[in-house]
Structures are given as structure tokens and as C-alpha cells.
Amino acid sequence: MRELGVEAIADIAAGAAVLGTGGGGNPYIGRLLVEQAIRRHGPVTVVDIDEVPPDAFIIPTAEIGAPTVSGEKPPSGDEGLAALAAIEQVLGQRATHTVSIEAGGMNSLIPLATAAARHLPVVDGDGMGRAFPEVQMVLFTVAGVSATPLSLADEKGNTLVVDAIDNRWAERFARTATVQMGCRAMMAPYAMSGEQLARGIVPGTLTLCEELGRLLRATRLAHEDPVAAVTEKLDGRRLFDGKVVDVERRTLGGFARGTARIDGSGPDADHELTLHFQNENLLAEIDGEAIACTPDLIIVLDREHGSPITTETLRYGCRVSVVGAPADPRWHTPEGLALVGPEVFGYDVKIAPLAVTHA
């Protein structure tokens, strides 16, 4: 058990944006929400998964929708609390803990703001080990946890509770409602016991986010290579260096979808990398050949400073390094691939998973 104060949040936000593989919401907005909540309500208690009793009652909170919209219509912080209260009312039970549904951008941070306001402990971990775009794409689904009842809350004061026959239908209903709410809402899905949480969680990712953010800051101060440091930390490999020459992006069906083209530089000169994304980076191709694909992590970093670049902030002229890192091994099982494998997103590619590069 430990306490998080305001001073830790900038590092957590930076690391969350790395693990978010381009998605998970705007980390800067998430940082502001948490810092405001901690100043108002006090520090957040973080607990390890082995400190959570089996009969604990955990309710995650998260943003749902297109990350491009968050920059134009940022949350106030009240929506997450409204979503949490709606589920508690339906189930007749108050949460004892909260947790991040994904390790990415804003969604690593939303539960911290909720926890500060409600004085709830946050469990150190998440349901993915990265970010994915759809509600059912979490290891809690693999572990047999239901996403519903799921609540949605928008900035206007509307709340909605969804019940569905399975987690894929929960995504369909929640996404449709989110579009009507303006393509962005807060949700409280996957209310679960401590025993269920233990089956599906990727432990330690909140700590990993903080370590990544601290690593980025330290390597910059030491005038070392932050991209190399992050790559080593994640057991990954540098895939490509170059300059962004084109970005095609659109908000469609409650997602930010598109592609980015990167002209190579240095050893990658005379080659082109194409990124395909749906909120998150899902497929990387060099000269038309796939080199990394979901469920593994595809991370875009500023080549000089190592700052993670999200899909909604990727712009012409950005000089970047693209890094690949291995996903949690459970994503490469048949059950995991059925949720987040290449075919799920319409990619007809067959490539080996990214391997761990060192012990």
C-alpha cells in the first residue's frame, strides 16, 4: 500500500501514454483531472492485487468514445462519479475499490480522480496491459467477467445503464449511446469481486506507468536516448525512424480511425512505414509488409524527447521513432486473439508475436 500525491501524476500520465499505444484518451487532460481531485480531496491510496480481499467489490471507471473529441469537449470530472453512482444504485452495493480498465492515456488516470473524490483505494493494475478500442477487449472478458450492468454518463447530466447478453453486445449498445452523447462519455463497466479481479488483471501497470514517466524524464535530463531507454524497459525493439508525411484521420462510429505514413530516415531511409489505427495503433507495415500487429504494442515516440504521441495528436512533420513491444501473453492465446487479433479489425496478416528481447 502506498499513497500518490500530485507530484507523481505527471510521470504516470507520460507512462500511460506510452502503454496506450496511441489511444486511451488524452493523457494531459487526465493529468489535470487527477491533480485537481488530489488537491481538493487528498492523496490516493494504491494497493497491490494481493492486498485486495476476494469479497471486495471493485468498479472501474473509464472514458468511452473517440479520443479526438476529448480535446474539444474535455470531461469535468463529475461524469465518472455519476457513472459509478449509477451502477452502485442498480446493484445496491457501494464500491470498495476501483481500478483502470486499460493502461493508456486518460483511462489510466480517470480511476485516480474517482478514487480521490470517493476516498477509494485504487488497485495497481489494469485489464489489458495496454489500450484497446472496444469494451469487450479486456482480459476480464477472457476470465468470464460480465461487462454489464454498465453505466454511461455525459457532461449534460444524462446517465444510462446497459444490460446485455454478453460483452460484445455491451460494446454495441454502449457505443451507440456514446455517439448520441456526443462521441464521448464516462462509463463504469465490469463491476466485480476481488476474486474475479485477480483472474483478469495485469498487475503492476500503474507502477510501470510511473516508472516509464520517470525514466523519460531522467534520460532527457542526462541527455541520453529516451527512446532506447523505453524500448529496453518494455522488452521491445525499435521498428522504424522517420518523419510523418501524411495523416488521414476521421471520427467514425465513435472511434478515431485512420492511417499515417512515415518516410524513413537514417538506416530506414528509402523505406516507408504505414500505421493503421482505430483509437490505438493496430498495424505497422514497412513497404507494404506487416512488421507488428495487434495484440502487441505499437508505440510512436518523439525521436528527440521520447514523448509518446497519441493518434489524435500525430501530425505532418513529426519526427518519430516507432517501437514495438510484446503484449501480455494471455492476448496471444486463442481466447485472447478472438477478441483482439488482426482478423477482428479486418487485417489479413500472419506474423509472429514480438518476442521478449532479454530476461
Report the percentage of the chain scoring pLDDT > 90: 86
Given a contact cutoff of 8 angstroms between Cβ atoms, the answer to whether 169 and 181 are in contact is no
For residue 34, give the C-alpha cell: 487527477
pLDDT at 25: 79
Parallel, antiparallel or unpaired: strands 319-325 and 297-302: antiparallel
pLDDT: which is higher, 356 or 153: 153
pLDDT at 183: 87
pLDDT exceeds 60 at position 314:
yes
259 CB-near residues (< 8 Å, 6+ apart): 247, 248, 274, 275, 276, 277
pLDDT at 359: 35
Distance CA 7, CA 278 (A): 32
Distance CA 2, CA 13 (A): 18
Give the dihedral sign, CA 328/334/336/338.
positive
Summarised one tens digit per residue, pLDDT across range 110-167 is: 999 999 999 999 999 999 999 999 999 999 999 999 999 999 999 999 999 999 999 9
pLDDT: which is higher, 255 or 68: 255
Give the mean model confidence (pLDDT) for residues 29-38.
94
Summarised one tens digit per residue, pLDDT across range 218-269 is: 999 999 999 999 999 999 999 999 999 999 988 777 788 899 999 999 999 9
15 CB-near residues (< 8 Å, 6+ apart): 208, 209, 210, 211, 212, 213, 214, 216
The mean of the pLDDT values for the chain is 94
Q: Which helix (H) or strand (E) holds 291?
A: strand 289-293
Q: How far is CA 104 from CA 60, 130, 156, in A?
A: 14, 6, 25
pLDDT exceeds 90 at position 88:
yes
Axis crossing angle, helix 78-91 with helix 110-118, rounded to the nearest 10? 70
Residue-range domain boundaries for the chain: 2-205, 225-345
Distance CA 65, CA 234 (A): 27
- pTM value? 0.94
Summarised one tens digit per residue, pLDDT across range 153-188 is: 999 999 999 999 999 999 999 999 999 999 889 999
Parallel, antiparallel or unpaired: strands 98-100 and 122-126: parallel
Domain 2-205 shares a fold with domain 225-345: no
DSSP letters along 300-351, please?
A: EEETTT--B--TTT--TT-EEEEEEEPPPGGGGSHHHHHHHSGGGGT-----
Q: How many other CB atoms sit within 10 Å of the CB of residue 44? A: 27
DSSP letters along 230-247, please?
A: HHHHTT-EEEEEEEEEEE
* Second-level CATH architecture of 225-345: Beta Barrel (2.40)
For residue 251, give the C-alpha cell: 471520427
174 CB-near residues (< 8 Å, 6+ apart): 64, 135, 150, 152, 162, 187, 189
pLDDT exceeds 90 at position 24:
no
Question: Which amino acid belongs to residue 37?
Answer: A
3-state secondary structure of 85: helix
Given a contact cutoff of 8 angstroms between Cβ atoms, the answer to whether 306 and 228 are in contact is no
pLDDT tier at 356 (50, 70, 90 boundaries)?
low
Q: How far is CA 138 from CA 100, 111, 161, in A?
A: 11, 16, 20
* Of the candidates 349, 341, 298, 316, the residue with the CA atom closest to the CA atom of residue 134: 341
pLDDT at 216: 97
What does the DSSP 8-state code read for residue 97? B
Fold type of domain 2-205: CV3147-like fold (3.40.1610)
What does the DSSP 8-state code read for residue 183? S
Summarised one tens digit per residue, pLDDT across range 274-309 is: 999 998 999 999 999 999 999 999 999 999 999 999
pLDDT at 357: 45
